[in-house]
Amino acid sequence: MNVEQAFLSGKAFIPFLTCGYPNLETTEQMIYALERAGADLIQLGIPFSDPTAEGPILQIASERALSAGVTTDKVFDLVKRVRGRITTPLAFMTYANIVFSYGTERFVRRMAELGVNALVLPDVPFEEKDEFDKVCRKAGVALIAFVAPTSGDRIKKIALEAQGFIYLSPSTDADEMVRAVRKFTSLPVVVDYGPGQFADIATAADGIIVSTFMEKIVEYGST
């Protein structure tokens, strides 16, 4: 399934999991459970040693996954196992160095083969996305665009070139940010917020990414 299909039935529930935290077996079972729970899109994080865009809880999850021996190939093997058992769209979130070190074309081609149709690279600025974007478009993978409160005049250009959906960085005025993006695109806009802020942005966004709260569930469930 393509990521666009995640938004066909209304506001999308998009849980995030760090692959391999606390272990790959738990990640696999969580993916099955999330599909049963009605997840519209599942975002899978490939752990990285310096996840600068993440909060402390997600940084710890990534560190522990790496300490347990999780590699990019092991994540691909995980996706290969689950893909035959689920229909929920999948997206990868990782960092540019992970993709570079694996080989950009090889990485994206492998994604496409496994039916992972979107890639989120939070450390790649809009102005530096072209080398990834060309490879992704060729393979039919959506490179997801970020819009931040500091984007300003760049919002129009980002929105017009976006694919799949637009990832809105946390903001104190999500409604205003969503309206600014929607002036230039009809693509869905999703926001990553904590559970305490859900009500504030549920009406504005087309989808809610649940990341930190999901990792807390995984942590408490594994202890």
Domain chopping of the chain, boundaries: 3-221
Q: How far is residue 179's CA from residue 123's CA, in Å, rounded to a whole number?
A: 25
Structural contact between residues 17 and 31, judged by C-beta atoms closer than 8 angstroms: yes
Determine whether domain 3-221 maps to CATH 3.20.20.70. yes
**pLDDT tens digit at each of 223 positions of the chain:** 689 899 998 899 999 999 999 999 999 999 999 999 999 999 999 999 877 667 677 888 889 999 999 999 999 999 999 999 999 999 999 999 999 999 999 999 999 999 999 999 999 999 999 999 999 999 999 999 999 876 778 999 999 999 999 998 876 677 888 889 999 999 999 988 755 555 566 678 899 998 765 665 665 555 4
Q: List, in order, residues 6 or more apart from 101 with CB less than 8 Å away.
A: none
pTM: 0.91
Cα dist. 199→13, 102, 174, 182, 193 in Å?
Answer: 14, 40, 11, 20, 10
Give Cα separations from 205 to 59, 152, 162, 223 (angstroms).
26, 19, 16, 34
pLDDT in tens, 32-68: 999 999 999 999 999 998 776 676 778 888 899 999 9
